[in-house]
Structure 1
Amino acid sequence: MAKGQLMFVVAGLMIVLAGGALVYMKDHQRLGEPGVRVADVSIEDEEGNRVGDTSVYLPEVDGFNSKAMEIQSVVYEWLPKDTVYGRRVYQAGDGFWLECNVVLMGADRTSIHQPQYCLPGSGWQIVADEENSLRIGKRKLPVNRIVARKALEAKHGTASNVSVVMLYFFVTKGEWTADHNERMWRQAVEQLTTGVLQRWAYVACFALCHEGREDATTERLLQFLSQAAPEFVELP
């Protein structure tokens, strides 16, 4: 057999073996435990249709009035059907408003996505994308901060720039990261070594603000998360 033919055969065998390994892992994988609290509380879309019998528990927080929100049907229809959601809006006494969203994957890992793709698709221009730190007690945990801007037209016809500040991270039982690639790496290693498919959740909090108020808004979001996260996230 010629050298070129031999290499072709070897490459083919490697592809077959890799495919077989993937099929085996899929058939024998076990779904891990989540790192967020799941409650037996149903969740609905904007039309009042039930889209899930369970939801991620998001707490009431001192100093805020809050309300559980529905899941947009476009999100429910786009993501895998075993995805579990949590969504709640909070408003402080001074009018500061924020929204907290959680997306928890099931057996289909494509539930978890990055806001870097969603925001530009909604007309927002990302102007900052960087890691930040969240302090919870003595812990210092990583979160990622995104600042994006969009020109919105006011009632009188003039346009002004509005910013959205978002803090997000990924969490599963015993693990927390702000880096999407690190999450994927940890998930792959865990599945290969133990057969467990980690059940990751994407947690995001965001608020709108005027241009120039992004740092102050970031601090408000960090303060909120330092209060709220221990109530619904299992800290590593």
Structure 2
Amino acid sequence: MKHYVATILILAIAAAGHESINRAHARAAQERPAQNVLDIPASIGRYKQVGADQEVEEEVQRMLQTSTVLVRNYAGPDGWPLQLTIVYAGTTRRSLHFPQVCLVGQGWEIREQTTMPVGFSFRAQRLVVVKGAQRQAVLYWFKTGERLTGDYFVNSWHWARNQLFSGAATSALVRLSAPIGNRDESAVFSLLEDFAAKFTPILMERVD
């Protein structure tokens, strides 16, 4: 009987917490309008934008449940290309998912998956993906409020906690990718890590 009562209490507390998150979520969505434009500079350190931002198809926006998506190509100091993708989810988090899902859906095979530090700030997810003769290096992480992490579940915890206590936290996914080509794999990841370290202060300032 005691175990039964304890189980009921735990379920009641969980339900109350879930309802509190839902109320905070709804309140935040009403009080804090979505960031419709991502104001990211064309030059980040010695990295320069190449071409116009890529258009994101309406079907993709519907799938992600957000129209605030930035896909932009940059060239590194030696001209090596890399791509920055930001998916801004606002207060809902419905747009955030494992990037591996999209990569596999686009025909990429994930060969390696681990984490690596970005400066002294946080750890990002590190992927090596392959499609035919192509190999790409990928780094990704999440931002919720002032917290950065490459761990999807840790980010979910940050979001839930912030929604409970402040009701105003927003989330975004950041992904960097670059072709490996005939370069040393570690050199390409060093390039991505360097860009990520220079981009992080901009991310914290310009993506709320």
Fold shared, TM-score > 0.5 on shorter chain: yes
Partner residue, 1:87: 71
Identity of aligned residues (%): 24
Stretches of structure 1 that go unaligned for 5 or more consecutive residues are 33-51, 152-160
Question: Aligned match of 2:61 in 59, 65, 76?
Answer: 76
8 Å CA contact retained: 2:72, 2:85:
yes
More helix by share: 2
* C-alpha spacing 1:14/1:116, structure 2 compared with 1 (3 Å): same
> Which residue of the partner structure matches residue 210 of structure 1?
181
Map of 1:131 onto structure 2: 115
Question: In 1, distance between residues paired with 2:21 and 2:145?
Answer: 20
Larger mean Cα displacement after TM superposition, 111-120 or 72-81: 72-81
1:108 aligns with one of 86, 92, 109 = 92
Assess if the C-alpha contact under 8 Å between 1:80 and 1:108 holds in 2: no
Structure-2 residue corresponding to 1:98: 82
Matching residue of 2:22: 26
Structure 2: runs of 5 or more not aligned: none
Measured against aligned partners, the alpha-carbon deviations of 1:176-202 in whole angstroms (never above 9, x if no partner) come to 11111111122223333x152521111
Q: Given the alignment, which residue of 129, 138, 150 partners 1:166?
A: 138
Q: Distance in 2 between matches of 1:226 and 1:24?
A: 36
CA distance 1:183–1:15, shift in 2 (3 Å):
same
Tell me the CA shift for residue 170 of structure 1: 1.0
Tell me the TM-score normalised to structure 1 length. 0.70
Report the Cα distance in structure 1 between the residues aligned to 2:105 and 2:146, rounded to whole angstroms: 33
Which protein is bigger by CA-based radius of gyration?
1
| Cα RMSD for the two superposed structures | 3.1
- What are the superposed Cα offsets for residues 64-96 of structure 1, whole Å, 9 maximum, x if unpaired? 243322223332021224x52222111246441
- Indicate if the aligned counterparts of 2:147 and 2:158 stay in contact, CA closer than 8 A: no
Count matched residues: 198
Specify whether residues 189 and 89 from structure 1 end up closer, same or farther in structure 2 by C-alpha distance, changes over 3 A only: same
For 1:172 and 1:20, how far apart are their aligned partners in 2?
A: 23
Question: Under a length normalisation based on structure 2, what TM-score does the superposition of the two structures give?
Answer: 0.78
Shift of 1:19: 4.2
Q: CA deviation at 1:53?
A: 8.1
Q: Summarize the Cα distance change of 1:10–1:56 in structure 2 as closer, same or farther, 3 Å threshold.
A: same
| More strand per residue | 1
Offset at residue 55 of structure 1 (A): 1.8
SS of the residue 2:158 aligns to: helix
